[in-house]
Chain A
């Protein structure tokens, strides 16, 4: 194991976070605060409670997930896409580094950034609404698994993307609708039966539901099913990465 290399990539990527502090940290915090003001305070004050929890508190886990997914995917994809774009990737590809070490470095850094931002948003939320975490261990587990899985997903996008448009299409066009329709702002029990069934095909539903359960013990699907689904996504991403590195897809051809 080339630990020096993992450390170098990780530190290098984290340094990018420091350089882009404004964009990476401040902007999600401001966006989330706006959600709380609009949905939590302005509109939410007219909604009484959702399954016994105040609306502002109810949406907090969903908002954290929304930011976590977006951040992990963008950080994971930019981290590997940018060297590919500038050409500096030659160095990593010609270094005595195994592909697994490259992933651990990049995905580790992207997930760390996502987690930091997620926790900052949790802290921000606590200024606006009451937060109660019923299962702290499960909360952290959901958070970490999601961060790692979606950073890997971002990494895959970064390797696949041939231009900036392709790079942004998933975090900009796919993730927000899935998150909004995945029960971030409502419980799917509020939906007509047909749309409840449709929602079960939305992977984000499982993430949000499980994560919310760790806070308030209310869930759209069984938390163990949520955990199983996240693990399944993780395994899918790992398999795709395994295939990419075996074949050198878009890296060594």
Chain B
């Protein structure tokens, strides 16, 4: 797939000397949903801000749709919609006016039908004449998304879209993201909610301390780094692990009532069958079994854990 955003050796040092980005290389593919994970202050927002033109880079190069974000800012910014992290709204404006304004500053001719469609999709239609200060936090978040969609962007940046958002709205947003992707929009979201990345992303990048630690297909990442665990609750507790089971990667729980088998991804499937038949042959019976797959969260903690 063609990359729609390409970032080359990007660094940013702020005036106060803080180095927010320390050489980022990243290709974002057209039509994908990329989740950027990272703790607070990792550099996610700075990265997005540079791509969108809010912050000037110190060194390095960012191309969007084949254009340089500094030199050809008109082309690149027309392609991009941005939903920033902070809820910033013109308190005294109406929903309709503020969304129409967004379309205008992006240089698009007024299109009331489109604004109507966007507002309806975000369940904002019945609030269109309300002033923004009258809206709840969740509603304001929707307005910010509506503003970002008002000029029909090809690439949408969602900076912490679901921070402080209730479960329903979060679900709705995920559905919206899916719908936008189906219409061909590339979506980049930052989050520190791992389940969000796990739920909707195609690829996951992990940023910490201004560096991109890893970027991988979500499924491949889970397969590669995800550990699986099989837990067998025994009918009769064991005092020690029988010698005959030493070949398997097994541990006995402290009270001796459960056997825990750890394995990596798919490699363990064959072993499990033989483990179970060995157990049967040894006359070790179990009353229950469960498997658990480590989540992105575990992977994330393992990656940034030391210094996060």
Contact = CB atoms under 8 A, between A and B. Distances in A.
Nearest to A105: B105
A12 B73 contact: no
B105 A95 contact: yes
Nearest to B81: A94
B53 A93 contact: yes
Nearest to B100: A8
A253 B14 CA distance: 7
A141 interface: no
Given A2-B107, A253-B14, A248 B56 contact: yes
Interface stretch (A22-30, A84-92, A167-175): A84-92
A152 to B, nearest CB: 20
Given A86-B91, A90-B88, A94-B77, A252 B104 contact: no
A19 B74 CA distance: 32
A98 B78 CA distance: 12
Interface in A1-51: 2-5, 7-9, 11-12, 15, 19
Given A88-B88, A253-B15, A94 B54 contact: yes
Contacts of A7: 104
A120 interface: no
Contacts of B104: 4-5, 7-9, 11
Contacts of B101: 8, 12
B97 interface: yes
A15 B90 CA distance: 12
A96 B73 contact: yes
Contacts of A15: 97
Nearest to A7: B104
Between A11, A12, A87, A96, the greatest number of chain B beta carbons within 10 A of the residue's beta carbon is seen for A96
A97 interface: yes
Between A2, A7, A91, the greatest number of chain B beta carbons within 10 A of the residue's beta carbon is seen for A91
B56 A19 contact: no
B193 interface: no
A83 to B, nearest CB: 8
Interface in B77-115: 77-78, 80, 82, 84, 86, 88-92, 97, 101-109
Contact of A94 (B56, B74, B80, B109): B80
B54 A93 contact: yes
Contacts of B147: 91
Interface residues of B, number: 33
Given A4-B108, A12-B101, A97-B105, A88 B90 contact: yes
A1 B249 CA distance: 68
Nearest to A97: B105
A7 B109 CA distance: 10
B74 A2 contact: yes
Contact of B107 (A5, A12, A90): A5
A160 B70 CA distance: 23
Nearest to B108: A4
B74 A96 contact: yes
A95 B52 CA distance: 8
Contacts of B78: 96
B105 A91 contact: yes
Contacts of A12: 97, 101
A91 B102 contact: yes
Interface string A81-125: 001001110111111111000000000000000000000000000
Contact of B88 (A87, A94, A248): A87
A12 B100 CA distance: 10
Nearest to B15: A253
A95 B90 contact: no
B55 interface: yes
B187 to A, nearest CB: 16
Interface in B45-87: 52-56, 73-78, 80, 82, 84, 86
A174 to B, nearest CB: 28
Contact of B105 (A9, A86, A252): A9
A247 to B, nearest CB: 9
Interface string A210-253: 00000000000000000000000000000000000000100011
18 contacts: A3-B107, A4-B108, A12-B101, A90-B88, A91-B147, A93-B54, A95-B106, A96-B74, A96-B77, A96-B78, A96-B106, A97-B105, A98-B74, A252-B53, A252-B54, A252-B55, A253-B55, A253-B56
Given A94-B53, A94-B77, 8 more contacts: A2-B105, A3-B107, A4-B108, A12-B101, A15-B97, A88-B90, A96-B77, A96-B106
Interface of A: 2-5, 7-9, 11-12, 15, 19, 83, 86-88, 90-98, 248, 252-253
Q: For the complex of A and B, list the 9 residue pairs with the smallest distance between their C-beta atoms, beginning with the closest.
A: A8-B104, A87-B88, A96-B77, A96-B74, A2-B107, A95-B105, A94-B52, A5-B105, A4-B107
